[in-house]
Amino acid sequence: MSKLFELKKIWKLLVFIGLILIICGGIFIWLYQRYKSFTEIDAKIYKTEIVHDAYIDKNGNAIDATYDLYIRYTVEGKKYEAILRKKSGFNEGDRINIFYNPNNPLEISQDINIYIPIGLLILGIILIIIGIYLKRSLRPIKVKTKQDVMMVNGNH
């Protein structure tokens, strides 16, 4: 395969991946805007249950255990219970911060972060710019013929 053919494929791939990252970043920003209206509250873990034990995968990477954390929290005098799935590091009796939807206190989230969506958007834009630059660099260069050069110089 020629380098030119490979570059034609690469610029299309970069633009495609860039568009996917921008779409994902947009979706995550939409979710962030939705969760931004959630209210932070303190919750207590009353039970932990192991979902997956820790193990070493086939590549030798240590994978942490995963737990279901059963939590209790109170909103405007009413008690609620929910389950969060997290990696190890929490024990019964620990207190954690969660965010709940004021319109539906059963809808909760533990993490509200805008940095990942913004990072996806920026990376997507960078990939599209690189892809467009590659495409432009693949344009054929117009080579002047000897006759064109002679006409410009006044020689016929």
Summarised one tens digit per residue, pLDDT across range 9-33 is: 888 899 999 999 999 998 888 877 7
Look at residue 151 and tell me if it is in a domain.
no
Look at residue 149 and tell me if it is in a domain.
no
Same structural domain for residues 65 and 90?
yes
Structural domains counted in the chain: 2
For residue 2, give its domain range. 1-37+112-139
Same structural domain for residues 91 and 64?
yes
Name the token pair of 41: 């509250």
Rounded mean pLDDT, 118-130:
92
Same structural domain for residues 86 and 60?
yes
Look at residue 3 and tell me if it is in a domain.
yes
Model-level pTM greater than 0.85?
Answer: no
Residue with tokens 């996917």: 20
Name the token pair of 101: 């939807």
87 strand-pairing partners: 66
- pLDDT category of residue 45 using cuts at 50, 70 and 90: very high
| Separation CA 90–CA 97 (nearest Å) | 12
Name the token pair of 148: 């064109």
